[in-house]
Structure 1
Amino acid sequence: MTDAPARRGFWKLLMMWIVWGGPTKPGPAWILVGGMAAGMILGALFIMRFQQVEVVERVRTYIFGDKSLELPKPVTPPPPGMAWVKALTTAYCPCVICCEKEHQDWKTSTNRDIRIHPYGIASAHKLVPPGIWLDIPGYGHAMVDDTGGAMRQDAQRGIVHLDLRFEEHQVARRWGRRWTWIALPIDSGAAKLQPEPETTH
């Protein structure tokens, strides 16, 4: 009778060793736990890399400072009825990474078909109204035909933010963040901003 508890203890230790392993060899349970932990870490990194690019960019900017390219103000006067306005330009494409959800109807906020008009500009419409054409250094001549939350948030801080639309994601990524001077109508909200917006976030 005295051997029964010992046998039960032996089998219990044996099962624990099979499940959790010994001091030099992990058991299946440890392998399962380790695999789940590795999967969670990789999943978090995937989300940060492909779904939360803006969060990563803000952390990088906070640690290392704003590394945005900044172009000098033009030395020539703007066209009649226009004013030079400093603006932050970023870039996007109609993919799920840039737009959170893919443009299923292929329409901008002003109902413009991006399959016909692949290039365009998103802005906070209270600062830069839709329908006007702008010349963006390095980008070209394009219409303001869209808007976005980042543009509207920056507008509340006195920053003119223009998001330039590209056809391909990698091309948009290469654009990065650029501060530049753009000729805008003198009666636009952006031209009336005083003082000039800061160049750092």
Structure 2
Amino acid sequence: MTPMPPSRAMAMATRDSGAVAMAAVTDPSELDRLEFISALRGDATSDVYAGKLAKVEEFLREGATRGQIISELGNGSEAFNSVPTAIYLFLANAGDFQRTVVEAASLGGDADTIASMSGGIAGALLGSSGLPAGWLERLERRTELERLASDLFFLHVRRTLGGRCEMCFSEESVWAYKLDEAGGNDISNFILLCRSCRSEMEREKEGLFARPRKHGKYRAVYRKAHKRA
């Protein structure tokens, strides 16, 4: 197989990542397909891509056959012939990861690329609990992939929160920790702690979260932990 030129790969990754980012912050029960595609159209940077996304919206409203998807959206390796197709298949099958991937894989052409992109968007929307259990059981290098995904997410949290320990303001060995394990993955449910402060917090955790102190190096952590109370 001929390697994809770097410029083409970059264009594809950039356009697909916008859809992934939007899906990741969308509640599956609140997904509005037309609002989703409208937002992507607003960010389109080329006439060709904008035209393809307009066709995606038309197909979402009126439906499309397999032949129309291939002829109008494409199934090639070029970004403008694959990313819009992946986005359409995700939105047309929203809430069903397996149908999205299977339909993408059945289009022919650069099917593996389109299936991976549409599946990636659907996975960002649904989370790991929305993936077929049987597929996960047979996934090669599953443990490594899950670790990488977790590391990538926590890196995002770390950068979003500023990169400093919220107790001692150190930038060494800082990582993100959940305030409430049952509280989900919203950024507000995380704090940044260095290794030593994390250990100290664990030793005093029962008292730490029982009542907020008004002074000392725990002030920032208390303020964040109790602001929702």
TM normalised by structure 2 equals: 0.21
- Which structure is richer in relative contact order (CA contacts within 8 A, separation 6 or more)? 1
TM normalised by structure 1 equals: 0.23
> Highest Rg: 1 or 2?
1
- Structure holding more strand per residue: 1
